[in-house]
Amino acid sequence: MMNFTKNARIFLHNMKLLSKQHIESLQWDNIQYTKSLILYGNLLEDKPEKKLHILDNEHTLDCLLHELKTFYRFGDAEINIMLNEVPNKKTCSQRYDVTLAKKLYEALTSERDDVYIGIGYRYFYYNIWDSDTYSNKFFTLNGKKFRDFFLNNCNPKRTYLATDFNQYYFTVDENKQDDWFRKVKLLFKGRKICLFMGEETYNNLKYYVFDEAEHIETIMCPSRDSFDKFDELFLLADKRPNDEILCFAIGPTSKVLCYELNKKGKICLDIGHLPKDYDSYMRKLDKSPEAVEKFYKGDYT
């Protein structure tokens, strides 16, 4: 009787989760989706002690503005490399590399207090019931895997920043965006910046989040498999003056460059999608599922 009551309670709970979605309108693999939806819905309702301490986007930006330190971030691409589970070589910016995987894990688990480490805020605090279709699908199908990875490998006593702070335009209400992007530009205002960025991505930008910097120099990098050029990029960055902020937007390689260059006394920012995010905001791009998917897939496909 006790097992029946427990199973009935689980069944009713899962039906409650499913009732929040219009399943018939989804064009995904319904069996995989339904399974993932239940798992992800359950993990979002876990007790607080099962969550890591991660600042949200707004507090992440406040933290960077208050005390600028090296900041590098981890998301799905980095986790898949660390797990040797790069899903599709044609749509990923970086193929698997065993050295890269080891360095990423070393950077993620670092106990240094002179760096900020970003992990996926939305894997822990994401509302899949009220989101765009692309993000809904992504977090539902992948959320539990990535959240479990962070729980198993991150320090529950450390405060992490939000990996997602550079993905504001497509994910946050429009009435907050003007103030947000004005504030983002303060990160670079009056500073000397050296930007390492994929050439294809850079050439597709019309607006620049760095336009209030005192000085900016851009070093074009490979848009795909940039870790092949790690030694060359490291030497170029290490030769830059110490009063420059080194900004990286070259996928998983950015994290290792930031981690290693910080040891040499450099301040580095792993900004990822931020230049594209600001450009999308300024262009007022449409937010259709196709547009969101194109944004995240990058310019190397």
What HEC string does the chain produce?
A: CHHHHHHHHHHHHHHHHHCCCCHHHCCCCHHHHHHHHHHHHHHHCCCHHHCCEECCHHHHHHHHHHCCCEEEECCHHHHHHHCCCCCCCCCCCCCCCHHHHHHHHHHHCCCCCCEEEEECHHHCCCCCCCCCHHHHHHHHHHHHHHHHHHHHHCCCCCEEEEHHHHCCCCCCCHHHHHHHHHHHHCCCCCCEEEEEEEHHHHHCCCCCCCCCCCEEEEEEECCCCHHHHHHHHHHHHHCCCCCEEEEEECCHHHHHHHHHHHCCCCEEEECCCHHHHHHHHHHCCCCCHHHHHHHHHCCCC
Res 41: pLDDT: 54
Share of the chain above pLDDT 70, in %: 78
Average pLDDT over residues 235-259: 97
Q: Flag whether pLDDT at 26 surpasses 60.
A: no
Q: Flag whether pLDDT at 49 surpasses 70.
A: no
| Entry pTM | 0.84
Bigger pLDDT: 291 vs 221:
221
Average pLDDT over residues 73-89: 89
Average pLDDT over residues 247-254: 97
Res 87: pLDDT: 74
Per-residue pLDDT band for 28 (boundaries 50, 70, 90) equals: very low
Per-residue pLDDT band for 25 (boundaries 50, 70, 90) equals: very low
pLDDT digits (tens, 9 = 90+) for 185-237: 999 999 999 999 999 899 999 999 999 999 999 999 998 999 999 999 999 99
Q: Flag whether pLDDT at 17 surpasses 60.
A: no
